[in-house]
Amino acid sequence: MGKLAGKKLILLGERDGVAGPAMEESLKNSGADIVFSVTECFV
Amino acid sequence: MDLQNQQRVKDAAEKFGPENVVVVLGSSDPEGAEIYAETVTNGDPTFAGPLAGVSLGLAVYHVFEQEIKEEADPSIWEEQIGMMEMVLDTEALAEAVKKIREQYSKYSL
């Protein structure tokens, strides 16, 4: 378990960058709890 | 940042304690990343949302910073994030968020 173990993660993704679900998948085994994950887009 | 998301960040900090919350950004440009990072540390710079004047001081990182990348599952990273890592200016993004973190975050990893 690393630095994120036990932390509460908020993932603020962006449509033209890295989206929320991509970060969620990548970090789901980090030992952190994902509080919420979103993907914003700028218009 | 979306006003509804500002409220959710604020609620999470109250519920779990700001020292336990880590915000990870997936922003595509350094300017946008700075605004997000500033919003969750020093408060909403546009003074429009629930975080206006609220200095949560949360630990904030761009997903491309080493502290986050090294915690990710490497094969899933490659599949989900690898392509954007090649396309975006990862160094500029990491540097932009680090600068705000060093200035305003009360917590870090």
Note whether B22 contacts A9, CB cutoff 8 Å. Answer: yes
Would you kindly state where each structural domain of chain B is located, as residue ranges? 3-104
Give the Cα separation of B83 and B88 in Å (integer): 9
DSSP string, chain B: --HHHHHHHHHHHHHH-GGGEEEEE--SSHHHHHHHHHHHHT--TTS-STTTT-----EEEETTSHHHHTTS-HHHHHHHTHHHHHHS-HHHHHHHHHHHHHHH-S---
Instruction: Using a CB–CB cutoff of 8 Å, tell me whether A25 touches chain B.
Output: yes
Would you kindly state where each structural domain of chain A is located, as residue ranges? 8-40
* Closest-CA residue of chain A to B83: A18
| One-letter amino acid for residue A39 of the chain | T
Q: Is there a contact between B5 and B49 (Cβ–Cβ < 8 Å)?
A: no
ipTM of the complex, rounded to two decimals: 0.96
Give tens-digit pLDDT for B60-81: 999 999 999 999 999 999 999 9
Mutate to test the interface with B, among A14, A16, A18 (most CBs of B within 10 A): A18
The sign of the CA dihedral A24, A30, A32, A33 is positive
* pTM, 2 dp: 0.97
Per-residue pLDDT of chain B (109 residues; tens, 9 = 90+): 999 999 999 999 999 999 999 999 999 999 999 999 999 999 999 999 999 999 999 999 999 999 999 999 999 999 999 999 999 999 999 999 999 999 999 999 9
Note whether B80 contacts A6, CB cutoff 8 Å. Answer: no
Note whether A7 contacts B20, CB cutoff 8 Å. Answer: yes
Give the Cα separation of B57 and A40 in Å (integer): 22
First to last CA, chain B: 23
